Amino acid sequence: MKASRPAPPKVAINWLMATLVLIALPHFLHLPAWLSIIFLAVMGWRLMNSLRGWPLPEHHLLLRAVHLLLAIIAVVLVISQYGMTIARDAGVALLTVLLAFKLLETRDIRDYYLSCFLGFFLIATQFFFQQSMLIVLLMMVNVLLLTSCMISVNDASSSIRQRLKTSGVLLLQATPMMLLLFVLFPRVPGPLWGVANDYVEVADSMPSRMTLSGLPSLSQGQTGISEAMQVGRISDQVQSDAIAFRVRFADNTIPPNQILYWRGPVLWHTDGEQWQPLATDTQPSQPEISFDEQHRIDYTVTLERHNQQWLFALDLPDSLPQGINAAMNSEGSLISSEVIRKRSQFNLSSVPDYQFNARHEPLLNYALELPDDQHPQARQLAQQLRTQYPEKTDYVQAVLNYFAEQPFYYTLSPPLLSGDVIDSFLFESRHGFCEHYAASFTVLMRAAGIPARVVIGYQGGDVNSVDQILTVRQRDAHAWTEIWLDEQGWIRVDPTSAVASERILSGIRGLLPSERRMPRAFADSPELENLWQQLREHWEAVNNAWELWVVGYDPTRQLELLRKLGMKQPDWRSMAQWLTIGMLLIFIALAWLTLRHKTQRDSVAEAYLDFCRRLSKSGVSINPAEGPMTLAQKAAQQLPEAAADIQAITSDYLAVRYQQQPDKAARFIEKVRHFKPRSHAR
């Protein structure tokens, strides 16, 4: 039985090898180097077999042993690298190794197909790491090549071009069905059996955590650390362009930048350097908020996966989000009931004018805590200003003025601080960004007996003028202060705006070094700068659409789209109905496309029919049983004026058809076209 299976032709194996290397290439970026080397080495062995006839493992007992040993070593190496758990990286590594060794021992058609199928699998694993448009383009190319490999094993006699053309036709004709299935195939919310750990923390592709003080080494894989804020211990705020979330406002009216405060966690406890939220057990029930409903803002947030429970809302939401299960805590922050492990979307409405716990705040004690024996200079400054300004509001203004008038600088790369970080910032370095200002301002408030807390989140965002989507990135992360005043409740005070009002008014973009905004070549002239800006916005609009509608196409998205398309009550039943109808239509279209007859035009026969028609118009009766010669004789008798023409045309026709003189065809057709028996008759 086994002997009867034919061996794949060498050309097919070489093609498969080239294709698999191309498929594995993007994986080399994150696979360990030794694995890539093993993969290429094993492929090289097979290539040398094809080119130079090197022996394969099957040819020699010793080589078989080497092959087995290599495979065992590779698997042991994978296990030692990743441990025994089958996770994403280990799975991909194992698949790559397996594929290489499978191809090396490919003997017959069955092995060949198995290699092809593993190749398809390897293409799919690429989406664990990257989901850009480019990678989908690469997927198309890979599928095209792998398909042509499958064709080559069935039709070895065809040329490379023919094979690529056939697989291209297959790919092209498959596209409508693919799109139909993509849109209408009822999506099932996953996971079905749990997700490998390393898939959840895709730190390399989507660092969507709170990176306000994102010490990268600490934030890897440890939740909670990013809810804290550490002042002065990092010299560079993480300037990631990764997207935190996107917002689409109702009616596409985008509020001014200075009210775009995206509220995240609230920090109360401090040890002098680090700020932390309240322990969960100290949190009491619902806050008491009253809204000035006149300025209500409706919007939709698409939050990227950040592996925490925070939802970011415009300060302050007046209702709970729709589309996600969440609650508001006593600090006015929204917390999802589940960790955000995938891109999530929810609808919200917010009111910028509000009063938060104006009558009573149960947590005031926590808002006055300061670590003992720390910040002596700050305390001294607070005492001094407080005696000068007995009114609380005057005092707040005085502190803000202090920041504005003293030589404080807003910088994204402040010097490292040591010792008492608040004091050394306030009185020595005076260079810092939002964290420094928020922390020291809060300390100055508390030292003067005004309850204060730190809120972290995002501020601003980039508006794309093409699709009117506001994109908030990690670099828009921000920290500000809230103080509690009698009868007014918690009031947002942003000390950063006292130092760098442009940060708040126009966002962080303007503060970035220019080469981060655009290539140097474009920065020279305003026209080029403008052009660059437009290109960038268009590209980002396309990217937004891609992220939201293709990469982010999930059960909720699907329902939303189908509702937009006019389906009243989209559920899996109606989807299945439409899917069936669509598939049937595509089936019929494809059947027509492939099975229609090619009507090959025979211009000579058409011309002769034309000739007969012209004769019959001038009164010659055409008998289908008559041959051309008989017809010509009869016609010549009836139309003696046209006899010469009739004879010439008939003799040409006979020459073309029966004397193998196809070169006379053109002359014959030409003659028929000019043949006018009736004009002769007249």
Residues near other proteins (CB under 8 A) are 109-110, 113-114, 117, 120-121, 123-124, 127-128, 131, 135-136, 139-140, 143, 147, 150-151, 153-155, 157-158, 166-167, 170-171, 173-178, 181-182, 185, 187-195, 199, 342, 550-554, 586-587, 590-598, 600
- For residue 113, the minimal CB distance to other proteins (Å) is 5
- Specify the residue, 172 or 535, whose C-beta has the smaller distance to other proteins: 172
Nearer to other proteins, 193 or 658 (CB): 193
Least distance from other proteins to the Cβ atom of residue 546, Å: 10
Residue listed under structure tokens 């290397």: 21
Cβ at position 137, least distance to other proteins in Å: 12
Nearer to other proteins, 103 or 228 (CB): 103
Q: Containing H/E element for 120?
A: helix 109-125
Give the nearer residue to other proteins in terms of CB position, either 243 or 493. 243
Which residue type sits at 143?
V
Residue placing its CB nearer to other proteins in the complex, 542 or 591: 591
The three-class DSSP label of residue 199 is helix
Q: Which two tokens stand for residue 522?
A: 């474009």
Helical (H) or strand (E) element with 585 = helix 572-595
C-alpha span between 89 and 220 (Å, rounded): 16
Shortest spacing between CB 168 and other proteins, in angstroms: 11
Instruction: Answer yes or no: are the C-beta atoms of 352 and 259 closer than 8 Å.
Output: yes
Residue 152 C-beta: closest distance to other proteins, Å: 10
Cβ-defined contacts of 57-61 (< 8 Å, 24+): 57/104, 57/105, 58/105, 58/107
Residue among 370, 244, 250, 247 nearest 310 (CA): 244
* DSSP E strand boundaries for 259-329: 261-267, 269-270, 274-276, 289-291, 297-303, 310-311, 313-314, 326-328
Residues 6+ apart with CB under 8 A from 26: 126, 129, 130, 135, 138
CB of 174 to other proteins, least distance (A): 4
Taking alpha carbons only, the member of 417, 521, 507 closest to residue 458 is 507
Q: Among residues 505 and 591, whose Cβ is nearest to other proteins? A: 591
Give the residue with the Cβ less far from other proteins, 32 or 176.
176
- Chain centroid to CA 513: how far? 27
Closer residue to other proteins, CB minimum distance, 111 or 331: 111
User: CA 221 → CA 138, 201, 227, distances in Å?
Assistant: 30, 6, 13
In the complex, the smallest distance separating the C-beta of residue 527 from other proteins, rounded to whole angstroms, is: 38
Q: How far is the CB of 672 from other proteins (least distance, A)?
A: 24
d(CA 479, CA 113): 57
Closest distance of CB 665 from other proteins, Å: 17
CB 104 within 8 A of CB 46: yes
Nearest distance, CB of residue 638 and other proteins, angstroms: 37
Half-sphere exposure of 541 (CA within 13 A, CB side): 12
CA distance 138 to 135: 5
Q: In the complex, what is the shortest distance from the CB of residue 200 to other proteins, in angstroms, rounded to a whole number?
A: 10
Specify the residue for token string 């200075």. 258
Q: How far is the CB of 27 from other proteins (least distance, A)?
A: 15
Which CB atom, from 4 or from 660, has the smaller least distance to other proteins?
A: 4
Asked if 396 and 483 count as a contact pair (C-beta separation under 8 A), the reply is yes
Residue 362, Ramachandran bin (φ over 0: left; ψ between -120 and 50: alpha; else beta): alpha
Nearer to other proteins, 601 or 674 (CB): 601
> What does the alpha-carbon distance between residue 486 and residue 281 come to, in Å, rounded to a whole number?
26
Closer Cβ to other proteins, 25 or 591, answer by number: 591
**Shortest distance, position 123 Cβ to other proteins, whole Å:** 6
Q: Which amino acid is residue 8, in one-letter code? A: P
> What residues have CB less than 8 Å from 304, skipping those under 6 apart?
206, 208, 242, 243, 244, 245, 343
Nearer to other proteins, 52 or 564 (CB): 564
Tell me whether residue 123 or residue 636 sits nearer to other proteins (CB atom).
Answer: 123
Using an 8 Å Cβ cutoff, are 93 and 78 in contact?
yes
